[in-house]
Structure 1
Amino acid sequence: MTITPLRVTGAAGDPLTEAIELTRRLKLPHLRRAMADLIPTAKAQRWDPAEVVQVLLAEEAAGRDQANLRTRRKRAAFPAGKTFGDGTRPHPRSHGRLRTRCAAWNGCNARRTCPSAARRAPASVTSAKPSAKRPSRPA
């Protein structure tokens, strides 16, 4: 049993049109975009066919890499406007210090964890349940 290859025919049987139809069928969008500019240039400069194929496949690989990167960034749902490596990022611990200061200044519930607020906290903390006092030990 012999398998004959399926031939996609363009409107006028033009090889470039057939190649474009094949790239649609094989889902090679980046190769298709590059082919429109590259094939006439390759014909005019008499490129080796292997070189043309190598350039087209490299363009498809680069396009897929960029598309994968865009897709991964989109799925990661990073906050808008945030970038990495721009050099303006503060020291990693500064955010925690600012939060601690803010908690101490504003008097929110984080006072218990703020060391500076703990020093200023009152000596006795009232609670709903009365606590039993321990007898003090003689010195």
Structure 2
Amino acid sequence: MAAEKLTRGRLAQIIVMLTLLVVAFFWRTLVYTPGLTIIDCEGERGFCGTSQSQQLIEFAWSEEQDNVIFSVVSDKKPHSAYWGEEGSKQIEISDQLDRNGDKITLTWQWKTQDLPRNPMRFNLVFDRYQFKFNYPKSE
């Protein structure tokens, strides 16, 4: 094959394949999104994050009468929030948003009867970090 002449057809084939490879490379580079880093947050209150995450958040669960309240203090607003492992029940980002300098406090509040049947976790997604909060156990 190395001894064959470079014909117009062979040159066109090389140019087409090279163009496809370059386009595929740039397309994949532009639409690349890294996988989520999952961070488990234990307890009913405290700080959550890892040494690798750029997102450290403070969280707290509380129950008042028939309401469940979950609040998060962070330096940025999450772009997704949902119950469960597979995200079956979408919850709108809370309208209750308070800013204190560069910190954002978000608060979600639900009636106990509006919660999913067996709520195990509440998940928040910040960029490429997914925080998983264990729902507080009833006593």
Fold agreement, TM-score > 0.5 = no
Structure in which a larger fraction of residues adopt helix: 1
Structure in which a larger fraction of residues adopt strand: 2
- For the pair shown, the structure with the greater C-alpha radius of gyration is 1
How high is the TM-score relative to the length of structure 1?
0.30
How high is the TM-score relative to the length of structure 2?
0.30
Instruction: State the structure with bigger RCO (CA 8 A, min sep 6), 1 or 2.
Output: 2
